[in-house]
């Protein structure tokens, strides 16, 4: 699903010229740098979403950027999902056999990737799945960065202890929020993720396309619409969203879309989807959409059709779906957790909630105060534009790469334009 590369220049209109100039100046200091990103899926989830857009922009800027993935059998994904759940605070069992298989799988991947990784100047390892690659590349010459996208503010200790051992050897780590940073023996940077305003997921769409998408899924445009877009994952609390919808429903003829899909590195999706279907029962106004990985325009249209976007997660590394909704001028009812707190400024760009009751209360309020809903949506769009666009994240990654590949004494000046 690699989308057409968009020219960097095209971002000036939405993100402003200044950031484009800064990005160009920074990149000129590290031209031809061999940069490799490694994660565990090309499809599904926020990391893949960003890399699809970020890597081509780095290439346009003259960096020799590439993207590799680690792959494994089902047991590998079961263990890495347990890491994910454990890092987000769930007590999970890590069995010896699972850990040994995990390490053996990464070792197999290392055999395939060693040349490119050892030859790279900068390697970004995303999340825990590929993390042991570092020690499997003993002749590495570049700087290795562990890029953690997960909410590790309150990890289940045994899981963090195991992973900390692995990531402590990196040259630097990057977290999405200050609250996620953990004591590690190397420089830590804070870089929130971002969305691409020009991608199929976020570009502007015609009203006809939005209407056509609604017709395709049997959504009535005369009645209010709530939308949550998420992988079917317990931390996204889709069942809690249905509970909130039911409470709103007794006051308003609202409809609900739960649009999801599964990531190839997430083995739990199907079971959660079954639970969600069961919770929805035969309510014709709950639309559970199991979408293919490349349904970007469909998701774009659904987010635009929404009156309110919900992201009622109980844990959330960042929540790109929140940014996507804000960019489309929608107020977001978001779980009071992780990266959602950075984006949903309570009472300004949306509401932070902790329970289905809280979500229902806020949804009812906004549906009855359309002027407030409108104003919140406008603020949300402005905030997303100022803080969470891809060009800002690109600038921060370039800055980190410049810092790691230059001596402390070397002064880098970015000219004001
Ligand atoms: N997404 C998608 N299809 C789906 C579910 C999600 O394209 O069925 C996209 C969504 O639009 C967003 C990303 O996947 O861009 C999810 O990122 P987020 O940070 O919200 O959550 P994660 O899945 O990484 O936990």
Q: Residue 76: exposed, middle, or buried by beta-carbon count in 10 A (0-12, 13-18, 19+)?
A: buried
| pLDDT at 330 exceeding the cut of 50 | yes
The reply to whether ligand 1 has any atom less than 6 angstroms from the CB of 266 is: no
| pLDDT at 72 exceeding the cut of 90 | yes
Check residue 268 and give its pLDDT.
Answer: 83
Whether 147 contacts 317, CB under 8 Å: no
| pLDDT at 409 exceeding the cut of 80 | no
Encoded tokens for 216: 């395709």
Average pLDDT for the chain: 95
Cα first-last separation, the chain: 36
| pLDDT tens-digit readout, 259-283 | 998 667 777 888 999 999 999 999 9
| pLDDT at 225 exceeding the cut of 90 | yes
What is the Å distance from ligand 1's center to 211 Cα? Answer: 22
The reply to whether ligand 1 has any atom less than 6 angstroms from the CB of 131 is: no
Helix H or strand E encompassing 126: strand 122-126
Q: Provide mean pLDDT across the span 185-200.
A: 96
Check residue 17 and give its pLDDT.
Answer: 95
Check residue 287 and give its pLDDT.
Answer: 98
The reply to whether ligand 1 has any atom less than 6 angstroms from the CB of 46 is: yes
Instruction: Name the more confident of 414 and 136.
Output: 136
Check residue 1 and give its pLDDT.
Answer: 43
| pLDDT tens-digit readout, 34-64 | 999 999 999 888 899 999 999 999 999 999 9
Rounded CA-CA distance 373/358 in Å is 17
Pocket test of ligand 1: the residue of 50, 54, 152, 230 to mutate, having most ligand atoms within 8 Å of its CB, is 230
Check residue 417 and give its pLDDT.
Answer: 62
Check residue 2 and give its pLDDT.
Answer: 45
| pLDDT tens-digit readout, 336-369 | 999 999 999 999 999 999 999 999 999 999 999 9
Closest CA to 229 of 316, 148, 352: 316
Question: What is the DSSP secondary-structure string of 288-310?
Answer: EEE--TT-HHHHHHHHHH-SEEE
Check residue 3 and give its pLDDT.
Answer: 53
């Amino acid at each position: 699903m690699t989308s057409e590369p968009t020219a960097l220049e095209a971002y000036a209109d939405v993100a402003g010229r200044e950031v484009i100039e800064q990005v160009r100046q920074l990149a000129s200091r590290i031209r031809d740098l061999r940069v490799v990103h490694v994660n565990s899926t090309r499809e599904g989830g926020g990391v893949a979403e960003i890399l699809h857009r970020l890597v081509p922009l780095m290439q346009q800027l003259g960096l020799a950027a590439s993207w590799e993935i680690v792959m494994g059998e089902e047991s590998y994904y079961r263990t890495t999902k347990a890491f994910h759940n454990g890092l987000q605070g769930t007590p999970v069992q890590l069995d010896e056999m699972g850990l040994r298989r995990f390490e053996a799988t990464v070792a197999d991947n290392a055999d395939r990737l060693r040349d490119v990784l050892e030859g790279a100047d900068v390697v970004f390892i995303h999340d825990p799945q590929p993390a042991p690659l570092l020690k499997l590349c003993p002749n590495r010459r570049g700087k290795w960065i562990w890029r953690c996208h997960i909410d590790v503010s309150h990890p289940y200790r045994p899981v963090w202890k195991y992973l900390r051992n692995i990531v402590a050897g990196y040259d630097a780590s990057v977290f999405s929020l200050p609250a996620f940073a953990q004591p590690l023996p190397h420089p830590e940077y804070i870089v929130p993720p971002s969305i691409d305003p020009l991608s199929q997921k976020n570009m502007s769409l015609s009203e006809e396309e939005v209407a056509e998408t609604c017709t395709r899924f049997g959504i009535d445009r005369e009645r209010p619409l709530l939308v949550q877009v998420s992988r079917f994952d317990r931390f996204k609390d889709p069942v809690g969203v249905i509970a909130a919808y039911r409470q709103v429903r007794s006051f308003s003829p609202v409809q609900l879309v739960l649009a999801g899909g599964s990531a190839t590195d997430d083995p739990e999706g199907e079971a959660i989807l079954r639970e969600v279907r069961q919770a929805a029962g035969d309510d014709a106004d709950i639309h559970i959409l199991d979408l293919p990985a490349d349904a970007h325009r469909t998701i774009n249209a659904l987010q635009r059709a929404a009156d309110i976007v919900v992201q009622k997660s109980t844990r959330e590394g960042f929540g790109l779906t929140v940014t996507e909704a804000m960019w489309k001028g929608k107020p977001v009812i978001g779980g009071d957790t992780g990266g959602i707190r950075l984006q949903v400024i309570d009472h300004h760009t949306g509401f932070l909630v902790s329970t289905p009751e809280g979500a229902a209360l806020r949804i009812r309020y906004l549906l009855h105060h359309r002027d407030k809903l409108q104003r919140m949506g406008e603020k949300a769009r402005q905030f997303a534009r100022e803080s969470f666009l891809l060009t800002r994240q690109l600038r921060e990654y370039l800055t980190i790469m410049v810092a790691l590949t230059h001596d402390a004494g070397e002064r880098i000046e970015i000219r004001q334009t």
